[in-house]
Each structure stands twice: as C-alpha cells, then as structure tokens.
Structure 1
Amino acid sequence: MNTLKTALQQGRFACILEFVPKPSAARFAAVATMMARVELCGWPLTVSMGDRVGSRLDLSPLEAHASLPERVPTLLHFSGKDRERQDLLAQLEQMDAAGLDQLLLLTGDRLHGHRPGEHPVRYLESVAALQIVRQARPDWLLGAALNPFKYREEEGGAQYFKATKKLQAGADFLDLQLGFDMDKHIEALQWMQRQPVPKPLIACLIAVTHGRAKMLQHVAGVTVSPSMLQMLAAEAAESKAFAQARSIRRLALQVTELARIGYAGVHVSGLHEPAHMDALEAAIEQCRAEIQHPAQWQAAWDAAWNLPGEAPVTFHPEQASWRLGETKVQPSYREAARVRLLGALHHQLFSRTTVLSRGFAWLVRRPLWAGERGARWLHGLERSVKRPLVGCDTCGSCRLEHTLYICPETCPKGLANGPCGGTQLNRCEFGDRECIHSVRYRTAKADREAALASQQLIACVEVGDRHRSSWPVWFAAPREQPAQPD
C-alpha cells in the first residue's frame, strides 16, 4: 500500500502517525482504530514503525506491522544501531515477503548502555544505508533525517552538508527531527528549494506539554529552551485540561502553517488514543476557519506560546542562535596547520605519484604480508603509527583522505559522512567531547581542495575488513576521484 509514495508524487499533503512498538495489545488496538480513519483532515494517513527507540529488545518494525489486525499503509524505520550491511539486507528480504517498500533510514540515537571507551558499538550510518538500499531496491520509497534545529554554525552547517549527501545517496524525502522553532522549519525548506533537485520535506511534530518537554530535554537533538519550559510549567499549573488544549492548539497551528508554506507532510508523534486524533482534527479545522493570511497565523502562534506574567518564549538555547547563511567561525591555527601537514604527508606516502609513495606501495604489497603472521604484524604497525596521530582503530578501509584527516573511528558511532542529529551546541550526543564533524566543518575552511575531497560519499566499513591493515588494500584498489560539488 503505497499511500505515502503516491501522495508525495502527486504533491498531496500527507500525515504520518508515529508508533513506537511496545508489547501492548491496547496500544496496537488504538493504532488500528486511528488508522481506520484512512485520512486526517482529508490528508492520507500512514503509520510509521519505530526501530530500536528504546533498546535491542523492542519489537522490530516488521513484528509490529504483522501484529496490526488489518493491513495499513506503513513506513518502516531502520536504525543503524549496532547493525551492519547484512542486517539491512536481511530486513529488505523480510520486507519483500511482507509486501512493504517504504523505508526511513536512520543512524539512530545512542544505543542504550553504549559507553565510549568500553566495547565499541558501530552504527550503520544513513548515507551508506541509503546507498545500499537504493542499489538493491531502486524503486523503493526511501527517506532520511535532517535536524535543522542547530544553533551553532559548525553543527548546523555539518547537518546540511550531510543532508546533501543523503540526497545524493538516493533519499526521496527528508524527515525533520522533532522541533518547535518555525524559523528553522522555514530555513530547512528554503535550503531544500535551492537544491538542484529538491525533494519533499516532512516535519516531525508533537503536542508538547510540560511533562513531555521535561522528557524531551533528555532526547538527543531536541531543543527545549528554558523559556519554553517555564511557560509550559505555567500552563500545567493552571490545569491539566488547560495545558492539554493549548498543546493541541499549537500542534494544529504548526500543521496548518507547514501545509501552507510548502511542506509535503507532517510526522506526528505522541498521539496514542483515537480521542487525541479527534481533538487534533477539530483543532486543525478550527485553524483553517479562523486563519486566512500569514499575519493572522503569526498572531495566533505568538498567543499560543505566551501567557500573562510569563517571559516571552524563544526557541533557541540561551547560549546561541545561529541561522543558516551566517558564517563567522574559522579553524584554529592548530586545526588549519594539522590538515595541511597531514595532507602533505598523505601525498608523499599515498598519492602513488611520488618516489616515496611508489616505494611504500611496493613494500606493503610484498607476499610477506599476505600470511596470517605477516598480516597481524602489519596491522599492529599501522595501528601503532596512526593511533597516536589520528586515533585510528584500523578499520581496514582508511577514509582519512575524505574526512580531512579526522578519523571517523574517533566518533563514538563511527560516522564518516557527517554528524548524527544528536549534537547540542557542537557537543557530541555522548557528552564527553566536541563532535568531530564540528571540528571537520571548521577545518574545511582551511583547505579548499581537502574540503572538496570530503564531499565524496563514503561507503560503510565491512565487518570482515576491521582490524587489519588498510595499506595493501589502498594500493591494490584503483583510486576513486572525489565527487565534485553540484
């Protein structure tokens, strides 16, 4: 049932109902009842099945789909948490058997229990996953994520940088991270409209109350400002019914405006009961009747986020308020020098054009290293040289040339093509470091040639290649030319 694909192709606004699978018969019954409506305010409905939102023990999206009493239009998720290529290919086969061909590919937020420095957990990132699925299932509807709710230049610029890669890798649409800043929604839409081949954007929304806002403060990549939290607390103090009604009103206003300005649809989270959907539909219809032009909408939106006696609400963190197009940051002297020095070293040893690189190529391709003992010794040598220099974990497929000599293995998720959506003011989702892709964004300003090379799509590391030397493979394989920017 290709309801979403058809709607996107026809330019018809669509509504996706978020469902996080839990072993609860009541929740499945409620979803089935809501999906039996077929439409919300005349917009076609699709249910999305979350993947590993809590832990590995969650019901899989396929299990959740099979547990619904009736077949309904479904968008399955695939989270790359602790997954490899074979796991994705296995899901594709299972989806074929179930007659499903719509997939939202996500790297995924931090896997429960994953702590840096302990046993490494690798994530099949969305860019590589898109490439795999697009090659294996050319006609499927594929989506990926974009988080525009970033308020420092490095993390925001890196998000759009990676989103461009997702489009190049085969994404048919982008699904935004959950957010409340309508200026950022407009920013993302304007960015998409400037792309060579614009794709549909879908906004993820929720009816936010004080309780939900406190929970969302702990969700990676979601921004809840202090002034938002203060106003929501004042609503809750008035009464639960008052707060609930205002939360539905805000959600309806967001949906109405996003449909007007050109979004392809909304991905609504937090609707767990048929009554919630009834209330939302009634609120949307009321907004449609009341609001005839943008000024009226803005006045209604401002009123929905303000209460007498409370401070004005802002949606950005207190520390920063960056918007796309603002560019002020520069690499530090050390960052700029580092990329140039390592680039020069790489050219001398790995370009295949210098005397030193040809000699090094001859050396590492000797039969001596093909045996088990020789391969182990060469792996140890490469690791001992590169780990102190760049943090290398000898993935067997070195990508430093395309990552500005910032090793992807130093990211707790092992991401090479760009950041996940979980950064907060340049800090990694794990909280113990600056995101390496924020550093990479700054570094790109130091060397244009290296920055262009970094735009190449980087394939995933194959599990069988890990913990072996990349040097013989580097010189054995033909060198790929970096993709040129559009």
Structure 2
Amino acid sequence: MSLLKTTLDANAFACILEFVPKPSAERFATLDTLMARTQLCGWPLTVAIGDRVGSALDMSPLDAFASLAEPVPALLHFSGKDRERRDLLAQLQRMDAAGLDQLLVLTGDRLPGHTPGQRPVRYLESVAALQIVRQARPHWLLAAALNPFKYQEAEGGAQYFKAEKKLAAGADLFILQLGFDIDKHQEAYDWMQRQPRPKPLMACIMALTEGRAGMLEHVAGVTVTPSMRTLLAAETAVSRQYAKDRANQRLALQVIGLKLMGYAGVHLSGIHDVAQFEALEQAITELQPLFTTLQDWTSAWQAAWQEPGLPAVTFHPPGHAWRLGQRQISASKKEKARYHLLAAMHHQLFSRTTPLSKAFGWAVTRPLWRNPTAAQWLHQLERRIKRPMVGCDTCGSCRLEDTLYICPETCPKGLANGPCGGTRLDRCEFGDRECVHSAKYRLAVSVGRAEVLTERLIPCVQVENRHRSSWPVWFEAGTPQPHGPAPRNEADEALLATTPERKAAPRRMKATLEDL
C-alpha cells in the first residue's frame, strides 16, 4: 500500500511536495535531500511529479522518478495534453514495472502552440481517463483536480457538476487548484461533505510574493486580485526579505487553517530549496500551538493580508463574488428554443422508436455504407448537415444527447464531460470565446436537465473512429450506456490484462507510517 493511501486511510494529515521535472542535476539533488527528511512537522511527505507542465517535450514523470537517487513515495501526474487512450494505457504498464500505484489524472492546461483553427490538439479528458484507469487498476489510489476558485455561477457550477462525474468515475482524492481564497476552500469542503460518499480533499498552496503573482497571471485558472497585488507590492517596497517572510508566514497559516478546516493535507508548490522548506517548517511549528479552532485562526489569517494604509484585500475579482448555491443566471429564450427544437429533432430521427427513426436507422445501416467511398460520402453528408447547426467535427461517436446539443468539439480541447480548470469569468482559457460548458450549464439549469451534466459519464473518442459518420454506429450499437464503463477495444485488452507477471511487479515504495 502506498504511503499516501496509508496516511489518508488513517485520517492523518499528509503533505505532497510538488516537483516539476527538468534536466537539472541540482534540482534532482535538492529533491533527494528534501525527500530524505520523510516528513514536514511530523506529517508524512510524498512527492508529486508533474507532467507536461511546460510542453509535450518535458521529461516524463516516470523518467524523473527513475532519476532519483533513492525510490521515494511518489504521486505521478498524468496530463491529457495531446494524448490518446493508448498513451494512458502505456503509462500504466510502465508504472506497474516501477512499482507505482497512485496517479493524479488531469486534462491539462493549454498546450503551448495550440491555436484554435489550426492543427487540432486532442486532450484526453480527466473523467474518461479516470474511468479507464479505475477499470484497469481497481486498487490504485486515483486523484483528481477541482478548481473552486470561480466567481460566476456558470463556470463555478459547471466545475462542481464535473467533480460529481469524477467521483462517479472512481476518484479517491481531490486536489484543489492553487488558490488563496479561504472561503472557497470552505465552500469546496462543505460541498464534498454533502456527497453520498465523501472523499478526502487536499489543497494546492504556495508562498505568494509579488514576483510569483506576476507569473501566476499567465497560469490558467489561478486568481490573484488587484488588491492582493497592491499588498504584495507594498511588502516588496519595504524589503525583499520582509516580503519573503510575510509570504512564508501566510503559507504556514494556510497549512494550519486547512488542517483545522478538515482538509486531508496540502500540496506544496514553489518550494525549490532546503532553506524554503526549513523556513516553512519553523513557521508552522511556532504558529500551530496558537490556534486550536478555526475561529481563532481566522483573525490571524485576515491580519496576515493587511498592511497599514492599504484597503482590505479581497480574493474575488472586482464585481464578481459568486458562491455555490447562489442562482444568478438563466438561458435566453433563443437558447431554450434551440434546445427544445434539437431535442425534438433528435427524438424523431434517433430515438429508435418513431417510424422516422426506424426508417432512418434502416437506411444508414445498409451494407452499402461499408464501402470506403460510400462511407466517406455519408461522413461528408453528416458533416455538412451538422456543422452549421452545432459546430460538428464528425468525431464518429456523437454525444449531443448527453451534452444538451452543444457539441463538445466546439471546445478547443474537445472536452465533453465538463470544463477544464482554466476558465476566467466564463471565458475559455484560450480567451477567444465563452466557455461552452458555461453555456451548457446555463441551459441545463434553465430547462431542468442538470442531471445530464452530473450523471452521464461520456467515454473518450477513439482516435481511429474520428472523421467518419456516427449514424451507422448509433443504430448498430442499440441503446447507448452512458453510465457504464468506458468501452474497450481489442488493443486495450492486452494492455488491461492482469497477468501473473504484472501482479508480481516489483514494488519500490515500501515506506509506511510505522517506518516514519
């Protein structure tokens, strides 16, 4: 059993140290030194190894793990950027060989160089990836991401809807996006406690300085407000050391507050040397005895974000302060009319119950369409009809019924189950459009179909099925099973097989709580 899983099962507090692999001997030597400590303030320490944080050419998490001087407890990341199902299955095999059995599954932020309208880049969506891994490795610890730092209803509500799908897909643990709004941390914790089977939550946190705040402006999904920037600039104006000490104090306070709130641990980002680690440990050790309740802690947290002569810091963007449970939006009459029209058309043509749908199904499943030329003609016909209506890119596995007739192919990442974490006030991470999942959420709550966005787990599109007509597939498949496990193909079966050799794979992580 992995150290992190052992810690979580014991309801003990855990620390994860983030490591972004780069070909630097000094960085690896520092990580080896930090991980040799095995704990932070008595809390078990695991390293999280990032995947494709910069580009697809980054060192892989598995190669980084193999480069460590000694095997350590590790949580590998898997990013779906420019990846297909086969890439995930191949990584599972390599992890078996390395004795690794825990994985953080992410869709991933925008791949550098991906421009909509040019070469399409496919992203293996986290919900579908979780289904694949849970089916293939039932006993692994699977972590997923949640970004509660959203300040408009559609983007925030859609995040929680997708999180429900991740729970259903098999997530054991949720790690929050980097954030500083403690009210949103509480919101996410309260949401999880309302779930039928709550899972542990961990929060990604960082010591925030003025320089880092400027860098985070370019990180999708992270919110640093103007009032926060003003405070950080004022601290830097006193001295760099003063600003650094204040940032470290806030980080220590945030660790303590999250523990008091009930979080299972923290995911520490931005600690790159031993001195930073030791300064944090010292600050936590000094401050922790001062706070026994969250109420006692809150005033200290607020004071840590104040400077004489400056206005109070707010953690939400100016003019936007939505909280979960607030209802602020409604779809337009045009959006609702479009939905009802397309739903009626779908019923008549694809329900398999109406005379028209039976006739249409019979027509598109004739042997004629198995001829390559005829199949291409049918593909072009479907594309010409559906592209002007819904933006169809003929993925070969139409999911419109499960997405309220808003085509997931109109999302630059091709996400079907919900949004990524990179939206900002309903705008897509790419900045050129409204997030299609915000539009989908707005429509769902307006027409009373919210359950579609929380219950229907949509499998990933097989790359070999793209750019062909979905019509024969729809009728030949019979009644679809959107709630069931992701379908396998023959190539998957070999990779997913549990062989004696895989069962006997060496385990390199032997640390337990008793060892510490």
Q: Deviations over 1:151-191 (max 9, x none)?
A: 00000000000000000000001010000000000000000
Greater displacement, 372-381 / 286-295: 286-295
| Alignment-derived partner of residue 490 in structure 2 | none
Q: Find out whether 1:120 has 2:120 as its counterpart.
A: yes
| Alignment-derived partner of residue 56 in structure 1 | 56
In 2, Cα distance between equivalents of 1:135 and 1:389: 36
| Alignment-derived partner of residue 426 in structure 2 | 426
Give the partner amino acid of 1:189.
Y
In 2, Cα distance between equivalents of 1:483 and 1:69: 44
Conserved? CA contact 1:8–1:200, under 8 Å: yes
Q: Deviations over 1:62-100 (max 9, x none)?
A: 011011101100000000000000000000000000000
| Alignment-derived partner of residue 135 in structure 1 | 135
In 2, Cα distance between equivalents of 1:50 and 1:298: 32
Conserved? CA contact 1:428–1:435, under 8 Å: yes
Offset, 1:452: 3.0
In 2, Cα distance between equivalents of 1:458 and 1:187: 27
Offset, 1:241: 0.6
Offset, 1:242: 0.3
Q: Deviations over 1:252-290 (max 9, x none)?
A: 001001111110010000000011110001111111122
Q: Find out whether 1:277 has 2:277 as its counterpart.
A: yes
Give the partner amino acid of 1:308.
P
Conserved? CA contact 1:453–1:483, under 8 Å: no
In 2, Cα distance between equivalents of 1:382 and 1:104: 37
| Alignment-derived partner of residue 344 in structure 2 | 344
TM-score, normalised via structure 2 length: 0.92
In 1, Cα distance between equivalents of 2:418 and 2:295: 38
In 1, Cα distance between equivalents of 2:398 and 2:295: 53
| Alignment-derived partner of residue 308 in structure 1 | 308
| Alignment-derived partner of residue 470 in structure 2 | 470
Give the partner amino acid of 1:57.
L
| Percent pairwise identity | 67
| Alignment-derived partner of residue 452 in structure 1 | 451
Give secondary structure in 1 for the equivalent of 2:312.
coil
Q: Deviations over 1:425-464 (max 9, x none)?
A: 000000000000000001102333x443443100000000
Offset, 1:299: 1.7
Offset, 1:295: 3.5
TM-score, normalised via structure 1 length: 0.98
Conserved? CA contact 1:134–1:170, under 8 Å: yes
Give aligned pairs, total.
Answer: 483
Conserved? CA contact 1:82–1:124, under 8 Å: yes
| Alignment-derived partner of residue 495 in structure 2 | none
Structure 1 stretches of 5 or more lacking a match?
none
Conserved? CA contact 1:22–1:59, under 8 Å: yes
| Alignment-derived partner of residue 155 in structure 1 | 155
- Cα RMSD of the aligned pairs, angstroms, is 1.1
| Alignment-derived partner of residue 510 in structure 2 | none
In 2, Cα distance between equivalents of 1:403 and 1:308: 51
| Alignment-derived partner of residue 387 in structure 1 | 387
| Alignment-derived partner of residue 165 in structure 2 | 165
Give secondary structure in 1 for the equivalent of 2:224.
coil
| Alignment-derived partner of residue 31 in structure 1 | 31
| Alignment-derived partner of residue 90 in structure 1 | 90
In 2, Cα distance between equivalents of 1:4 and 1:462: 33
Q: Find out whether 1:79 has 2:79 as its counterpart.
A: yes
In 2, Cα distance between equivalents of 1:483 and 1:370: 29
Offset, 1:368: 1.1
| Alignment-derived partner of residue 407 in structure 2 | 407
Offset, 1:309: 1.1
Give secondary structure in 1 for the equivalent of 2:288.
helix
Greater displacement, 450-459 / 178-187: 450-459
Q: How does 1:249-288 map to 2 (within 5 A)?
A: 249-288=249-288
Report runs of 4+ in structure 1 exceeding 4 Å deviation. Answer: 481-484
| Alignment-derived partner of residue 190 in structure 1 | 190
Greater RCO (CA < 8 Å, at least 6 residues apart): 2
Offset, 1:319: 2.9
Give the partner amino acid of 2:129.
A
| Alignment-derived partner of residue 2 in structure 1 | 2
Conserved? CA contact 1:159–1:419, under 8 Å: yes
Give the partner amino acid of 1:64.
A
Structure 2 stretches of 5 or more lacking a match?
485-516
Give the partner amino acid of 1:328.
Q
Give the partner amino acid of 2:349.
L
In 2, Cα distance between equivalents of 1:284 and 1:347: 60
In 2, Cα distance between equivalents of 1:395 and 1:254: 44
Conserved? CA contact 2:147–2:221, under 8 Å: yes
Give the partner amino acid of 1:102.
Q
Give the partner amino acid of 1:437.
H
